[in-house]
Amino acid sequence: MTSPASANDRFLRACLCQPVEQIPIWLMRQAGRYLPEYRATRARAKDFLTLCSTPELACEVTLQPVQRFPLDAAILFSDILTIPHAMGMDLQFLDGEGPVFSSPLRDTKAIRALPVPDPETELRYVMDAVRLIRHELAGRIPLIGFAGSPWTLACYMIEGRGSRDFQHIKAMLYSDPELLEQLLDTLVRAVAQYLNAQIRAGAQAVMLFDSWGGALTSAAYRRFSLKPMTRIISALERTGSDGQKVPVILFTKGGGNWLEAMADSGADVLGLDWTVDMGEARRRLGPALALQGNLDPMALYGSPELLVQETQAILESHGPQAGHIFNLGHGITPQTPVEQVARLVETVHNWRP
């Protein structure tokens, strides 16, 4: 299968702070339930994990948003929890509840016994999806691969499901931090191998989703979230299958207080949630790395006029200098009106840096 480099490489150029004639845009969770075509494919698959683990279906839903809107990048359709699943943890996605592990990790023995999955065999379905998507995209736009951060994966593995207060993992953090570090160390190796396999399969940029880093104190964020991510970034093969540099995007939701520390991770791009002012982030960080974000996903539920205003405010706030990738501050949500997404993409593309 031949996979040419991208005809539209605005996204990759912006990641590397190179000049672009139009600000690139893609959306976290751009393939998902707000799209009727996603709901139709999802109804054909037995369940969500079958959708993720069948390369033809994963490819189909990856392409849906980029066929409907002129987005500047595609993101692999998968989930961050493929790794704990491949480690042997029993995972189910329950309607209205999200992911649930039937036996959360709670003891030393289970943590010590966790294997590092071989991405080329146990997660081969992900690599097959990457290869198939690259082939189907035929170089029109780049493909982003991704993984969860070790801290965020550990949150789900220890809590067993989504959580408000992270009682179990924080109890471990404050009673046996070395044990937590042991788990994070296993996850560093698993995520680094997984992302390198995605890069070898054809991912042209990779993103670390640290959805729950913002739940930590500043000191704990550095030790238990940022440090493991920094180790992963330094272990990545940064040259893609086309010989081009593979940018790394680091997104910590709620990480606005720690941007300077995040910039030292080796990432090329920092993802910002909506609580940070884009222009202020740019002033704090200087011109050396790219910024991605940061529209409040709920702005898509507002009036067309205010959506355009909010979008332009972010573009103006960042200003004309290189290194802005427009995105939401977190994932798009299921009831989002499709026509508002079209309006958002058009507004970003019509703005001249």
Ligand X SMILES: Cc1c2[nH]c(c1CCC(=O)O)Cc1[nH]c(c(CCC(=O)O)c1C)Cc1[nH]c(c(CCC(=O)O)c1C)Cc1[nH]c(c(C)c1CCC(=O)O)C2
200 assigned binding-site residue: no
Active site residue 222: no
Active site residue 29: yes
Residue 42 and residue 57: Cα distance in Å, rounded?
9
Interacting residue with ligand X among 70, 104, 139, 331 (CB under 6 A): 331
154 part of the interface to ligand X, by CB under 6 A: no
Active site residue 68: no
Interacting residue with ligand X among 9, 60, 79, 268 (CB under 6 A): 79
Task: Specify which residues 249 forms β-bridges with.
Answer: 207, 269
Size of the site for ligand X (CB under 6 A): 22
Alpha helices in the chain (DSSP H): 10-15, 36-44, 48-53, 55-68, 82-86, 108-112, 124-137, 150-159, 167-175, 177-201, 218-220, 227-235, 259-263, 278-285, 304-318, 338-350
Interacting residue with ligand X among 63, 73, 75, 201 (CB under 6 A): 75
Residue 141 and residue 324: Cα distance in Å, rounded?
17
146 part of the interface to ligand X, by CB under 6 A: yes
Interacting residue with ligand X among 30, 82, 252, 265 (CB under 6 A): 30
DSSP state of 335: T
Nearest to ligand X by Cβ — which residue? 211
| Residue-wise DSSP of 224-242 | IIIHHHHHHHHHS--B-TT
Residue 38 and residue 34: Cα distance in Å, rounded?
8
Active site residue 174: no
Residue 207 and residue 267: Cα distance in Å, rounded?
9
Nearest residue (CB) to ligand X, 157 versus 314: 157
103 assigned binding-site residue: no
42 part of the interface to ligand X, by CB under 6 A: yes
48 part of the interface to ligand X, by CB under 6 A: yes
Q: Contact letters (x/-) for ligand X, 214-243, by CB under 6 A? A: ------------------------------
Q: Identify the CA nearest to 346 among candidates 316, 308, 313.
A: 308
Q: Among 34, 38, 156, 194, which one carries the catalytic annotation? A: 156
Interacting residue with ligand X among 93, 125, 166, 351 (CB under 6 A): 93
198 part of the interface to ligand X, by CB under 6 A: no
Q: Identify the CA nearest to 23 among candidates 62, 73, 65.
A: 73
Amino acid identity of residue 194, one-letter, is Y
Q: Contact letters (x/-) for ligand X, 237-276, by CB under 6 A? A: ----------------------------------------
CA distances from 321 to 25, 26, 193, 308, 346 (A): 16, 19, 34, 21, 20
Interacting residue with ligand X among 16, 22, 33, 179 (CB under 6 A): 33
Residue positions in the annotated binding site for substrate? 29-33, 79, 156, 211, 330
Binding stretches for ligand X (CB under 6 A): 28-33, 42, 48, 75, 77, 79-81, 93, 98-99, 146, 148, 162, 209, 211, 331
Give catalytic residues, as residue numbers.
29, 33, 42, 79, 156
